[in-house]
Structure 1
Amino acid sequence: MILQDTFTLANGVTIPKLGIGTWRIPDAEVTKVVRDALDAGYRHIDTAQAYANEHGVGGGLRSSGVDRGAVFITTKLAAESKTYADATSRIDGSLQALGLDHIDLMLIHSPQPWDQFREGEHFLEGNLEAWRALEEAHRAGKIRAIGVSNFERADLDNLLDNGSLAPMVNQVLAHVGNTPFDLIDYSRSKGILVEAYSPVAHGAALNNAHLATMAARYGVSIAQLCIRYCLQLELLPLPKTSNPAHMRDNAAVEFTISDADMAALKGAADNTDYGEASAFPVFGKKRQAERAGQVD
């Protein structure tokens, strides 16, 4: 069963091959979601400072009755944290919010602050400052493994060339129709595990007629097909749902997509319309300003 399978990170830490995301789940609701996920057999929960729900995630774990050592908790350093002092403070803030004595994996959420995401500046010095704070927390035993999210090759090279530890994980947007194969291959060449957030394309894949036809041939849902696609690429998918039945379905992926169908999925056109999810909450202010004509 996939929920019992693990990858091994570069430092020897094992991480469950399938996790559950908590983006856009409010703190007041995420406690029950985490309990439901753990009850369904999940042992890998992904959160972030930007999600403002770390407190509820920790509460869900503590109230579940599941042993802390059996659950892998990931959180992410806020994207705007680009100094050593600020990152150090925020790391301790996550430990306090989660109510844990250690975090299993902590990532830099983005190489750029969200209001400057992918605008050209790589914030190399700031990311090194944040990385130094993560390295120190790792050495102190506060964090078992450290990594990054949304990092491109130049961002990875900055840490690889100048840090004391190589990132162990790069968490990126990856789904059918939008799979960054070059970045995935480069990350792997450096011993970095690649995680796939939003493997069902923020839900947009559920409206794809071609995926529906293929999924029907396997007798599975579109979500199951998308999750299996990531697993067969040796990615670690992090689907998000608050529905316990969907949690169980998302983990029922013990089937194999044929080579021909995998080739078709890998070559799928990138024309995904994310709808409301295209305006990530973490840079919602930027989106609002753009709509008002305040940002080019």
Structure 2
Amino acid sequence: MTAVPNLTLNNGRQIPQLGFGTFQIPPEETRETTLTALKAGYRHIDTAEMYGNEKGVGEAVRDSGIDRADIFVTSKLNNDAHAREDALKAFDTTMEELGLEYLDLFLIHWPLPGKGDFVETWKALEEIYREGRARSIGVSNFQPNHLNRLLQNTDVVPAVNQIEVHPYLTQDDVRAFGAEHEIATEAWSPIAQGKVLDDPTINRIAQAAGKSPAQVTLRWHLQRGDIVFPKSSTKKRIEENFDLFDFELSEGDIGEISALDRGERTGPDPDSFNG
């Protein structure tokens, strides 16, 4: 089976660079879809309280026959649970839903700058981390100004920042800030919800490589050093999205794809989104 490269997080923990995303997978389909991904070779599963499908992810992990230590599981804090006590209770609920003894990575899902104090929220995650219930903690959708506040007012540097990244939104400034502070970048919406798949540049590169536009786009993410977790509900596409390790893009290809950046989001702006 293909070995997915691991990256080392700033606390020494290893994370598979390619994972499987479960956003918008219906709860009743999550167990089977996640089992399909695990059978295809994925060992990194990304879920969230907001998705409503943590239970199915936990069932798949337990039913897969794969050693728990070999599967990296991420979940994220709900936007209505930013106060300290609420965050601690929400984490307990996540663990009950998953039915796992520990979580590999727990994230603040959104900074919600106009709603509350995400520094207080982060301190709750630090408690969870010190107890060993989450092996790593991080954030999602944080901009450099949000990250700076954490770095100045808390003890633990986030292990990852999960942000929207794709060829139409390359996020080079946020990624550079992360690299400077040893915060790994994870890319959500890696193919811009399918928008980049019709792009002429990506299609030309894909045709030359003998790969699909989705595979070329995901390979672009990997070669830029980001962690990526495509989402699909179909076995064929799940397997195709995993088949990324028998080809490489040239520096020229990567540069051409990166030049497609136009600052175009598919999701909310973290500086103004408040849940």
CA RMSD of aligned residues (A): 2.1
Could you say what secondary structure the match of 2:186 adopts? strand
Paired with 1:27 and 1:34, the residues of 2 have a C-alpha distance of 11
Q: Please say if residues 2 and 18 of structure 1, whose CA atoms lie closer than 8 Å, have aligned partners that are also in contact.
A: no
Alignment of 1:166 onto 2:157: yes
Q: Percent identity?
A: 38
Larger RCO of the pair (alpha carbons < 8 Å, separation 6+) = 2
Deviation by residue 1:134-174 (Cα, 9 ceiling, x = unmatched): 11011111100000000001110111111110101000110
For residues 27-176 of structure 1, the aligned pairs below 5 Å read 27-112=27-112, 121=113, 126-176=117-167
Aligned twin of 1:258: 250
Instruction: Quote the Cα distance in structure 1 between the aligned partners of 2:22 and 2:234.
Output: 12
Which residue type is aligned with residue 13 of structure 2?
V
**Which residue number in structure 2 is paired with residue 289 of structure 1?**
none
TM-score by length of 1: 0.87
Return closer, same or farther for 1:2/1:150 CA change in 2, 3 Å cut-off: farther
**1:85, 1:3 → 2: CA distance?**
40
Instruction: Choose which of 249, 252, 262 in structure 2 pairs with 1:270.
Output: 262
**1:213 paired to 2:204:** yes
Moved more, 200-209 or 215-224: 200-209
Matched with 2:272 is none
Tell me the residue number matched to 1:201. Answer: 192
Quote how far apart the aligned CAs of 1:130 are: 1.2
1:204 and 1:273 in contact (8 A); partners too: no
Deviates more, 1:195-204 or 1:219-228: 195-204
More helix by share: 1
> Gapped runs of 5+ residues in structure 1?
113-120, 281-285, 287-296
Q: Deviations over 1:187-245 (max 9, x none)?
A: 11001000111111112222323321221011100110110100111001111011122
User: Amino acid of the residue matched to residue 70 of structure 1?
Assistant: D
Q: Tell me by how many angstroms 1:27 deviates.
A: 0.9
Q: Secondary structure at the match of 1:73?
A: strand
CA 1:182 to 1:273, structure 2 compared with 1: closer, same or farther past 3 Å?
closer
8 Å CA contact 1:3, 1:17 repeated in 2: no
Residue equivalent to 1:187: 178
Helix, strand or coil at the partner of 1:213: helix
Match of 2:169 among 172, 175, 178: 178
1:269 shift after superposition: 4.2
**1:237 and 1:245 mapped to 2: Cα distance?**
18
In 2, the alpha carbon distance for the partners of 1:87 and 1:20 equals 25
